[in-house]
Amino acid sequence: MVVFCSASHYLDKYAKIYYNFINDKQESKAERLAFIIMEEDKSTKNENSGLEKFDPEMQEKIVAFMKKKEKQRKIFIALCALVAVVSFSSLGVYSYFGGRTAKDNDALAQLIGDTTYVNFPNPNPTVMVHRTAEEEMPDVLEKYQTLYNKNKRLIGWLKIEGTNIDFPVMQTVNNEYYLEHNFKQEYDKNGSIFMDYQCSVIPRSDNLIIYGHHMKSGKMFGQLDKYEKKSYYEKHPIIQFDTIYAEGTYEIMYVFRSKVYNENEIIFKYYQFIDVNSADEFDSNMREMAALSYYDTGVTAQYGDQILTLSTCDQSQTDGRFVVVAKRIS
């Protein structure tokens, strides 16, 4: 047994550690000793104050390791700075798009009821976004004519009184375009509120599914998940959704979380409930949603009722979705 005697507290500590590491690998000893020295250097504000306690070979290893850690520290700081710049830049971008979206949406809302016929050309005149039946198409409601002539992809307007949901609803030939485009056809991270391309308002599908981003800013459907609490539902039980051809008031029935499943999974997929062929099929969909719902609203639907579904992303699970389902009452 070797006994180290010294009046210096730090020298004694280093000596004991050195002795305990006798059987360790040299690299491991150097690393551990370097960490101890660096910690002591922080408190004494002296660089390499403990190096002289060790032999030249160990000093070389310790210094090499300390230089390596210093390099890693600088790289880490640089990466943190880069992440900060990117984060603030992203925040600025989202703030810009959020502000622009809110401003544009307010301007669009002012046009509801405006009977001034402004004949804006259809940006994509070859795209037919509304399903047509054998019978003649109805006229666009007068209060939406000005908006419709600004963009003929408009399919309706969605509003929930007392919330920030008050948006035009778009529809095109896929479910991708309006994820990143606004009413003006500009690129926009907020996207637009839009109807599933498989849904039809003329003739009307049994269930109209409307999508929107769950923005952290609360824009679009960013506050839809507040319906998880029954108290929120009780304050906002009614949804107003007008197609461009007819006004509609809906009463909320079900609120639940779901997800996008693999094609081969045999499970209820709310986003596939658009049209049904029988009362049994309709009732089956109602039972599935009722079983998933967070609470019982007391509202039910029968075959022949018109259903409206609002859907947004949910980060609580992979490919998660937050869903609010309502029945048309007038």
Quickly list H helices, 236-327.
279-292
Catalytic (active site) residue 199 = no
Sign of CA dihedral 37, 43, 47, 53: negative
Q: Find where tokens 């910690």 sit.
A: 39
Task: Say which residues have a Cβ less than 8 Å from residue 275's Cβ, sequence separation at least 6.
Answer: 205, 206, 207
Q: Is 17 left (phi over 0), alpha (psi -120 to 50) or beta?
A: alpha
Q: Do 300 and 326 meet the contact criterion of CB atoms below 8 Å apart?
A: no
Query: Which entry of 5, 80, 199, 313 is annotated as an active-site residue?
Result: 313
Question: Which amino acid is it at 201?
Answer: V
How many CB atoms within 10 Å of residue 281? 14
Q: State the Cα–Cα distance between residues 318 and 314, nearest whole angstrom.
A: 8
How many CB atoms within 10 Å of residue 302? 10
Q: What is the largest CA-CA distance in the chain?
A: 104
Task: Say which residues have a Cβ less than 8 Å from residue 317's Cβ, sequence separation at least 6.
Answer: 257, 259
Task: Say which residues have a Cβ less than 8 Å from residue 114's Cβ, sequence separation at least 6.
Answer: 143, 146, 147
Task: Say which residues have a Cβ less than 8 Å from residue 268's Cβ, sequence separation at least 6.
Answer: 258, 285, 288, 289, 292
**What is the DSSP-derived secondary structure letter of residue 294?**
S
Tokens of 217: 């800013």
Q: State the Cα–Cα distance between residues 214 and 322, nearest whole angstrom.
A: 9
Tokens of 102: 């809110």
Catalogue the active-site residues.
Answer: 313
